[in-house]
A and B are shown apart, each in its own frame.
Chain A
Amino acid sequence: MRTLDSNSAAILKPPAAGYVRYGFGGEGMPPDLHDAAVSAALWVFIGVATSLFLLFLAAYGMRMDAGDWSPLAMPWQLWLSSGLLLLASVLLQLAATAAGTLHLRRARSLLAAAGVCGFAFLGVQLWGWQALLAIHVTASGNPAASFFYLLTAMHGLHVAGGLVGWGMAAHGAWRQDASRLARRIRLCARYWHFLLALWVLLFAALGWLTPELVRMVCGTR
């Protein structure tokens, strides 16, 4: 924030370039500034989703305290799905670099592969659900199981939303100019890195968080 001095001339000077902003709506907005807005909005949305999942995790920690919690063994499918999610992030990052350096064909194939990994992630997560249901671990009963299904479902929904974004980037990929494509892929990559970081956190909590650990962190009892 700049403060002007009491020099009268300062009021008369238009502010320096740093403050130049365009006030367009989406239709007429210059593309680079529209993308800057989308980029800002994505950070805000990531903030909202972070708030959501931190609250879910707080609820998980608090609920654990009741005597009926027992640890849940993570189905092995979750390691596979984690790998797929990591791969998707890596592919998107490579795609972003490729688009940035104008290797458009490579960028498009990397983008496509990342999408495949994303869909595969969801499929494998469902496979993991199936594995648990097969050994009669249902949502009602052990709260660890309730939270498992709830948190993986919520994360999966956000991944599905990410796939919508991927779809929008992929849709025009063959027709878009290079800088537009690069920007879109960069945004996709950012969101998917967030989904990956979130997943690591959720996976760790579901698999390894215990009431003792929660008590130690919260300093209760």
Chain B
Amino acid sequence: MAYTEHNAEHAQHDHGPQGFFRKYVWSQDHKVIAVQYASVAILAGLVGVGLSNLMRLQLGFPGKFAFIDAPHYYQFMTMHGMIMVIYLLTALFLGGFGNYLIPLMVGARDMVFPYLNMLSFWVYLLSVIVLMASFFVPGGPTGAGWTLYPPQAILPGTPGYEWGIILMLVSLLIFIVAATMGGLNYVTTVLQARTRGMTLLRMPLTVWGIFVATILALLAFPALFVSGIMMLLDRTLGTSFFMPALVSMGQVSGYKGGSPLLFQHLFWFFGHPEVYIVALPAFGIVSDLISVHARKSIFGYRTMVWAILAIGVLSVVVWAHHMFVSGMNPYFGFFFATTTLIIAVPTAIKVYNWVLTLWNGDIHLSVPMLFALAFISTFLIGGLTGLFLGNVSVDIPLSNTYFVVAHFHMVMGVAPLLVVFGGIYHWYPKVSGRMLNEALGKIHFWATFLGTYAIFFPMHYLGILGMPRRYYAFDGYKFIPDSAHALNAFISVVALTVATAQLVFIFNLVWSVFRGKRAAANPWRAASLEWQTPETPPAHGNWGEQLPVVYRGAYTYSVPGAKEDFIAQNVPPVAGDAESLVAKETYA
């Protein structure tokens, strides 16, 4: 047929000899770019973990470490938060997992704009460099909290108001450019470059999660851009977008008329979708992990897709639940509490469908499956505590306490991070051609799962007690019992242990590249397309001479009567075989 010949011609496209730099540094291959994104993101994440350890040293053992004074503490806190949310999680899910998996899962040879893809990585790297540079400027990095609220962020009284805040804002603006470039690629590739037979409703949920997250990113990051550039102008040109008339440190400032609440609305209009930009890819990936390792189709695929879409759409109208006690018009509280609790419904459906996938499954407790199960458990806690905070009147005493800190770490830190690990253990054989060491994986798993639970579950109670967040020290407050300080010390010890355990993972990652057991092309016997490449790791162009043709969805496991317990997406059907006897093929 005409198009297959056409394919073959282009597949013979020869690059000629490629140097090391062209192949691994300035590469336009989505797989190389994905590894570049992931490596930088993980390195940034290690810095972020280190910063959190420094914070925990102060919280657990206040005053014992002279170099962790109040200004430093707030700087560590701010950089920890920003690095983890933006430079680790967003970059890793979209730039790392998205870049690697989307073309392979939809049957494309690469992203539709490889040059732009390459540029997006280097711009992301630039944003990381600018951010890290703030550690080395006079006054150090900003200590305004990752939410960067004005007026304090740009006033004396907050560390880093001289240069740190400027570098932070510039870094974010650069990141947004990188994210837009990347986002254009991911969205267009999913819409335009799916291979023959790969309809939207045959795509794995990983792609759906990353796809909808990317759309959210493209529409929500502009809000951060708007607020960031306006704050930058307030700081550098003396405009008063967010700065009201105020007296700071005894000096009357030149500002007038600005509104700190305007910043908060803009920031959270970005900030809430941001948490779903992190969560939706995690939802998609965990669906794939569970179905592969339980040998069972994800329960309710269509509903899962609709849930992802519903969550994406609703996430744009819940933002002011971060502002219930901000002083905004109090009547907004009714609206945002309602929308926030509505978004709980599709989220709950997803949780039900994950556990229903396990029901009657054939559950292999591999390392990826362990992480997937741990995700369900920790996301459950994190999501349920969100119901406390979304319900406006319950939020009032809990706002800005450790209840909030525990909630968002569980739901955004622990749960998605467990999926990151699970996903890496799962796809590592495809990326590198080797298996990660299973024993080390289990050690890493147990330390991380039990450790993070021990850190963040008790923390909720400190919040209910009334301990505020972003406090350098709690000495002298009589309503806080000594036992709470003891608990803080316990949490700190566990946190340091969990952080150390991550070194096991890093070691495993690097060691297994060279010494890991060689992997088969499809060691988990998965049905989705990315596992069906002719070579492992996939060569440039992914599919060899002929693009795959897709005949079914990504979750055809354990079809009764079929010989194998999975049927790959691109295996041509044979008339009269077991699959054709299965009723109600609902995939379009």
Contacts and interface: CB of A to CB of B under 8 A. Distances in A.
B198 interface: yes
Contacts of B183: 44, 48
Chain B residues touching A, range: 35 or more
Contact of B237 (A14, A51, A140): A140
A30 B226 contact: no
Interface in B1-59: 3, 6-7, 10-11, 13, 28, 30
B124 interface: no
A15 B222 contact: no
B547 interface: yes
A44 to B, nearest CB: 5
Interface of B: 3, 6-7, 10-11, 13, 28, 30, 103, 106-115, 180, 183-185, 187-189, 191-201, 218-220, 222-223, 225-227, 229-230, 233, 237-241, 244, 254, 256-259, 262, 265-266, 269, 541, 543, 547, 549, 551-552, 573, 575, 579-581, 583-588
Interface stretch (A21-29, A80-88, A128-136, A193-201): A21-29
B258 A21 contact: no
Contacts of A27: 13, 28, 110, 114
Given A21-B195, A59-B226, A140 B238 contact: yes
A160 interface: no
Given A6-B584, A12-B575, A52 B195 contact: no
B196 A37 contact: no
Nearest to A53: B222
A146 B114 contact: no
Interface stretch (A60-68, A115-123, A163-171): A60-68
A63 B239 CA distance: 12
Contacts of B115: 26
A11 B197 CA distance: 11
Chain A CB count within 10 A is highest, among B10, B112, B113, B580, for B112
A20 B114 contact: no
A1 to B, nearest CB: 5
A48 B180 contact: yes
A178 interface: no
Contacts of A146: 233, 239-241
24 contacts: A1-B200, A2-B588, A4-B587, A10-B585, A12-B575, A21-B192, A22-B6, A22-B7, A22-B193, A23-B107, A26-B114, A36-B192, A37-B113, A44-B183, A44-B184, A51-B218, A51-B220, A55-B222, A59-B262, A63-B241, A66-B257, A66-B259, A140-B238, A150-B233
A139 B184 contact: no
Contacts of A24: 10, 108-110, 193
B218 A23 contact: no
Interface in A105-150: 139-140, 143, 146, 150
Nearest to A45: B184
Interface string A30-60: 1001101110110011011001100110010
A23 B259 contact: no
Contact of A25 (B112, B219, B573): B112
Contact of B222 (A9, A25, A52, A67): A52
Contacts of A15: 196-197, 199
B262 A63 contact: yes
B10 A23 contact: no
A92 B201 CA distance: 39
A1 B588 contact: yes
B237 A34 contact: no
A23 B547 CA distance: 7
A12 B573 contact: yes
B110 A139 contact: no
Contact of A66 (B239, B258, B588): B258
Contacts of B13: 27-28
A11 B241 CA distance: 59
A150 B112 contact: no
Contact of A48 (B109, B218, B573): B218
A8 B257 CA distance: 69
Contacts of B220: 51
A22 B230 CA distance: 43
A143 B588 contact: no
Given A22-B547, A23-B108, A150-B230, A30 B6 contact: yes
Nearest to B187: A44
Nearest to B115: A26
B199 A25 contact: no
A21 B241 contact: no
B6 A19 contact: no
Nearest to B198: A21
B241 A59 contact: yes
Contacts of B28: 25-27
B219 A23 contact: no
B111 A25 contact: yes
B192 A150 contact: no
Given A40-B191, A55-B222, A66-B259, 14 more contacts: A4-B585, A11-B580, A23-B103, A25-B114, A27-B114, A38-B113, A48-B183, A52-B222, A59-B241, A63-B257, A66-B258, A139-B233, A140-B239, A143-B239
Nearest to A66: B257
A3 B302 CA distance: 12
Contacts of B266: 55, 59
Contacts of A8: 580-581
Nearest to B180: A48
Contacts of A67: 257
Nearest to B262: A62
